Amino acid sequence: MNIIPDFIARRLVGNRAHWPKVVRLSAWLNRVGLYFLAQARISLRLIYPDGRYTSDHDFIVSQYALQDKIRAVLARYRADGSAYKYFFGQPYQGMGMAGIFGDRLTDYRFDDYELRRFIRSGDRVLDIGCNCGFIGILASYRTACQTTGIDINPYMIEIGQLAAEHLRVADLVELRAGRLQDYDPGPVFDVVFSFATHWTDDNNYRVSIDDHMARMASYLKPGGMMIFETHCNDVGNPEFYAAMEGAKRLFAFDGFHKMTDSDTRELYLMQRR
């Protein structure tokens, strides 16, 4: 199902010059969709004049209000010439559950990476280069783990904090704006997520795989688990695989666990020795 007529879609597909417009259009459609979703709930008031189920509306109606708050953050983000823009000024992460538009959909990734299997209630989870922190937020929402997320981009962190409040898990989620290189809490985490962040396009984190693995190991309790997602261009790269062999000093793992994102990335489950 695509509401963009085929003859227009054919002209847009694959033409990079149109990508910003397509992203703007998609963000707008997302917003319109949420508006009607909110209206669908609000309309029910017509058949319940006694106010019954009014509180049921809150989640959907506040989801629409959340978009306004996020738009205000994004306006400041776009105006900040020094902030790197991953997705044409929209968040890198989206979250279907909270109606938040973004490039990569957290809900899908959470299930595809089978994260639920590796996290127990009360676990301490660290999400590095977390962007909006949505993967950790969803982990806390679904498993009641304690999540810490760190990202250098303060605007994405602000959006994450709004989403955590909206989902009522702000007490379980700590999101901090800062450089990973300056974060040194010691080996206190049960699980670390390193998703598409062992080096970054914005050049704010460029270290060797060896350095990255040592940093991740320093965050984990012995026996703790790192869940590691590659970039697309690591896949099939002999240098990357050679560096991963070196990581076996610190982590026990046996090749990659599965291909993800339509077979474009690899996911590794790595246990701290």
Ligand X SMILES: C[S@@+](CC[C@H](N)C(=O)[O-])C[C@H]1O[C@@H](n2cnc3c(N)ncnc32)[C@H](O)[C@@H]1O
Please report how close the Cβ of residue 202 comes to ligand X at its closest, in angstroms: 5
In this complex, which beta carbon is closest to ligand X, that of residue 56 or of residue 111? 111
Q: Give 266's contacts (C-beta < 8 A, 6+ positions apart).
A: 229, 230, 234, 235, 256, 257, 258, 259, 260
Q: Give 41's contacts (C-beta < 8 A, 6+ positions apart).
A: 56, 57, 60, 61
Q: Give 108's contacts (C-beta < 8 A, 6+ positions apart).
A: 96
- What are residue 259's DSSP bridge partners? 266
In this complex, which beta carbon is closest to ligand X, that of residue 137 or of residue 247? 137
In this complex, which beta carbon is closest to ligand X, that of residue 41 or of residue 231? 231
Please report how close the Cβ of residue 177 comes to ligand X at its closest, in angstroms: 9
- Rule CB under 6 A: which residues touch ligand X? 92-93, 104, 129-131, 150-153, 156, 179-181, 195-197, 200, 202, 204-205
Please report how close the Cβ of residue 86 comes to ligand X at its closest, in angstroms: 6
What is the CA 116 to chain-centroid distance, rounded?
A: 15
Please report how close the Cβ of residue 267 comes to ligand X at its closest, in angstroms: 11
Q: Are strands 220-229 and 265-272 parallel, antiparallel or unpaired?
A: antiparallel
In this complex, which beta carbon is closest to ligand X, that of residue 30 or of residue 131? 131
